[in-house]
Chain A
Amino acid sequence: MCALKKRAFRRYLLLNLYMACVVVSELGRFKVVAEYGFSSMQYRYFYFYSDAILTIFLYFALSTLYAHVFSEMKAERYVKMGTLLLLAGTALFTYAVVEQSTAKFVTRFVVELSQNLYFVGLVLTYVLWAAILKLRETRTRLIQLVLSLGVYFSLYAANYAIRNLYPPLSSVFVPLVQVFSLFLPLAWAYAFWRLPEEARLVPARLAVIPR
């Protein structure tokens, strides 16, 4: 809504479509919870499958941020190719990991793929942030979109890693996902609403280690 009002919907089309899909998915989850209950298998399946689809969508949305940063280099084709290759690579790696499990193979694959994509997304966002610093990208809105995505991916990746390392802590860290999921819509709403497209800043000043 903020992007539409500030006429930035088409410029960041995939990001905004992702947000629209999140809303649809949340409504779907609400309907499934209301119908079958929170601890039902139906809700679990719906949650994990919709989460995997959303993660793949977000992964493609991240690739459009790459296209924005590298727009002057005309590297859009390479970005698209790299995105697809990396997605295929992650899927193959996930397949190799879950190949041995015979029970519920597809479900395990979907859950693992989603978790792996969070980490791949995090690494890609970090590379993009390094490129922003190197290329001296100054568009404040774009910088905030990338940084908030980085925070979001790292929160999820850390959460999944802790749950894999210490399964008994899942009861604490699973509900935290709902809190984390609020971060991205609010951060992007702020970026679209508060920051005009022409706002500029010096990215080197934002780096933790001064450059």
Chain B
Amino acid sequence: MMAAIILVCSVVFLLQFFVSYCRSLIAASIKQPLSAEVQDVTGIKSSASGEDFARVVQLLQLCPDRPEDRNGVQAIGAYFGLLGFVRSTVARLIPTLRTWTERERGQCTYFAAVTLERRIAFSRDMFAQQLES
């Protein structure tokens, strides 16, 4: 009985913490403007769409990754999956929830684009350092 209560509480708290954590990751990156180059590559001009997420993540995987970014990308990937699940189930019945999931999915794409920008800058720095040495 006790273990069942702990399990239910833990899962409820986990969902709340996880969603808030992912939104804090997104909020920290949403203020960062994208360079014209990344806008061209990703096709994101002013607002991002959830439909582009998979494509931007594919581009991300082409760049050398940085350990401190890896956790954020994986967490946002899981959050995007969770949003997709909500969108295809509960959000079908509640239009406001559908709008919310669409907006959140778009912000996930923007987060991935900002990470792509960082990775490109990191790769350039490494390349410049190699040329110098």
Contact = CB atoms under 8 A, between A and B. Distances in A.
Contacts of A148: 21
A182 to B, nearest CB: 8
Interface in B69-90: 69-72, 75
Interface string A103-139: 0000000000000000100110110010000000000
A8 to B, nearest CB: 14
Contacts of B69: 190, 194
A167 to B, nearest CB: 11
Interface string B8-27: 01110111111111011101
A119 B68 contact: no
A119 B6 contact: yes
Contacts, number: 102
A190 B4 CA distance: 33
Contacts of A205: 23, 27
B7 A147 contact: no
Q: What does DSSP make chain A's interface, helix, strand, loop or mixed?
A: helix
Given A144-B21, A151-B21, A190 B72 contact: yes
What is the size category of the interface that chain B forms with chain A? Answer: 20 to 34
B28 A151 contact: no
B129 to A, nearest CB: 18
B3 interface: yes
B108 to A, nearest CB: 15
B7 A206 contact: no
A129 B20 contact: yes
Interface of A: 2, 119, 122-123, 125-126, 129, 140, 143-144, 147-148, 150-151, 153-155, 157-158, 160-162, 164-165, 183, 186-187, 189-190, 193-195, 199, 201-202, 205-208
9 contacts: A129-B17, A147-B20, A150-B17, A155-B14, A161-B6, A186-B67, A186-B68, A194-B72, A205-B27
